[in-house]
A and B are shown apart, each in its own frame.
Chain A
Amino acid sequence: MSLLSAEFLSFSLVTVVLIVSLGGFTRQLAFLIFNLGFVWMLLGTQGTVSTAGFCLLGYALARAHLRWPDLRLAYTLSPLIVLFAYMRQYEFLQWILPDQILTSLLRTVGLSFILFRIIHVIVDTRSRTLGTLGFFTYMNYCLSFTTLLMGPIQRYQDFSDQWHGTRQAIDLTFEAHFDAVLRILFGLVKAYILAPWVESFALAPDTNVLDLSPGGWIAGLYGFYFFLYLNFSGYCDVVIGVGSLLGVRPPENFNLPFLARNISDFWLRQHRSLTLWLTDYVFSPAYKAMLSGRALAGSPLLAATLALLLTMLVSGLWHGTTIGFLFFGLAHGVFLATYRVWDHLLVGRLGRKRAAALRSTWPARAAGIFLTFNAAAFAFLFFRLDTPHLLLLLKGVFGA
């Protein structure tokens, strides 16, 4: 559904007016009906049932942790992730599952985002850091039409605090509401005017990149980088604006990633809500587990490097179902691990103070921005190309 369509704009307007004017249980129920209605408009009855069913499974699993506090996470997360992999139809499943199973897929939308929200709820429920797990709040959190399709990945506590009025989404002033409308308009300009124009320069998924000139490479990769930024951040501007008016403002997701000074900084500026999720639920537990193991106990740098590689591999698989996304994740894992080792060596050689002073000089900052920009643009090659053209490139490069 287009964000510029009369359908979406009128749906948003009616929802905002109704939700703001209602209170208590009626508001909870009305928002759930609107959210399910939104899914139904996108997917029809079968898709609504399978998407809501996936969320209900998550709720039941989170409840199981409340009922049995010692229940292991592996027992609840495994069925959820297996079902997710089946519903997402990962490319590698065709090698292990019969065709007739894969053709009877359950239709859903925004499933990767829903999965990460549910995992967050389950893990935080088990660690008793979630707060109150209410059924309607949970379902509206998972299915909120503002963040359903493409995030940002909001935390349950943040959603719940704003939804229940513990914290205001925005100031109750005319100007703050007008700012939200401006944000929506600005996002629409980014997504519907600037992004389509920039896309005309971007690398197409079916490009044989070996035939491109160096200028073609640069224009194609830079073009795709800027296109993706305008496309995704424009969308985020719209949903942050709508969410602000609704009373549940999603978190910020972008902060000029082109100005990142290193690859770690890049991931705090690009799809920030995903980075923070991956840090909390993949990197930190993996790093702690590796340090507590016998093999890596005395090697924090090696443990951090391996945890980074694992985290970005998960990120790649989360992004998409094809082999290209695996390479995209691996490329960023290698970049992050290299940066970590470089920084460790720099601090080891110069000491913390002198390393920080060196990093803050303008040549170091400019070099950092240049290198990070080009590394990020290069990694988007794997993100953009379709599988046959990516394999063509790899064959050309490695001569296989």
Chain B
Amino acid sequence: MPELHPLQAIKIDFPDGVYVDVRLERNVDHRIRFCDGELDDVQATVETGALIRVLREGQWLLASTTALDEINDVIADLASSSVLPPTERDVGVESLIIHRDQLWIFDDERIDHQPTTAKLDFLKRLIPSMDRPGIKTWNARWLDQHRDRRFVSSRGADVSHDYQECGVILGFTLGLAANAIQESFRASNHRLSELESQSERILNELEALLDKCERFAQEAVAVDAGPATVILSPMAAGIFAHESFGHKSEADTMLGDPQMLEDWKMGSRVAAEGVSIVDAGGGLGSGYMPYDDEGQKTGQTHLIKDGLLSGRLHSALTAAALGEPLTANARAISFRFEPIVRMTTTIFEPGTETRERLFAGVDDGYFIETVRHGSGMSTFTIAPGLCWKIRHGELAEPVRIAVITGTVFETLSEIDGLSDQVEIPFLVGGGCGKMDQWPLSVGFGGPYVRVRRMDVS
């Protein structure tokens, strides 16, 4: 039986006169890939490492290492370094709440202890679905990751927790030449047994997606570019929430810009009435993060509440700089990187309409069902996959749309309906990128969201 939590055994010596925190990680990843019917890759990666942060005279000195037996030497070196001039800057470590906790919630069925053959078998069950005449090329991937994390600090914090996810991605090109569509199907969960118990549903969903793609390849027409009413699926809405407003709510973008703080006063109207966006890290799913990478317990932060600006996402540094409460959003993709302000699970909260009534309110528009990727600055961009014309409240023919774009605030103010049920897709693989840190597991979702005007091309 493998040792479960070797990170707990590591003893850290904290020197006097400096603040030190150490984030220890053990990461295990497995990948299996089939390409066009042939097993193409089976890989396992194990890495153990630590990021050491020493705060000396107002300046951060950091080092990442995979030699865990040398951590105390690294701390001593950093603590004696005077490479940066002293500053009086408050970086917020005094406000960090000291937690001592262990949250090993995946010990009952660690994905890194499951046999590769079981994962291979699960993937193989889905592969026969790729045997459709319209599918020209495909790949099927199994991905899983298990992360053990421990955060300790010279102020007494000692927090350990784990995260894991597993799932499949089947990517395919269906149809010929200009009429072809490239799509992917994902199914994910935290445990292999959870995936296996849902295998029939997963297979049915895959077949249903393939049916839609076949129809798309045969019938899709080019979009009439221009402004249009659009209904976003929960996945598309989640990406929109993440890209359009989530990134704007990360407070590190406001450092050194008092004018922006003035313009972004809490209580300002930033969206239509009834629109609320919330970021929360405690719930299970791909954005699960019970403690952030500064040892702070995650909670729930409303970014927009009923159309009004109501919160921002913070690390210790940004909370201190802006004089606002900590929100436990300091995250790093691995021990190689320092924590920066990141989202966890970001969603639109539900509205009051049924899905049917929401669609009934569109005489002429589009439904964005799947999304390939998104990005956002002052304008956001979503690259859709499957899209459908809405005519007189009903889904009509499939439509080829390259991108939908809009100005963030104008688009948020154009939302005139949200359905009453939230869906949060669990997405294995991929994630959010910021600066040089990609991919970070995040969650996003929402209800169906109707926007009166978005630019479609």
Binding between chains A and B: no
User: What residues of chain A have their CB less than 8 Å away from a CB belonging to chain B?
Assistant: none
User: What residues of chain B have their CB less than 8 Å away from a CB belonging to chain A?
Assistant: none
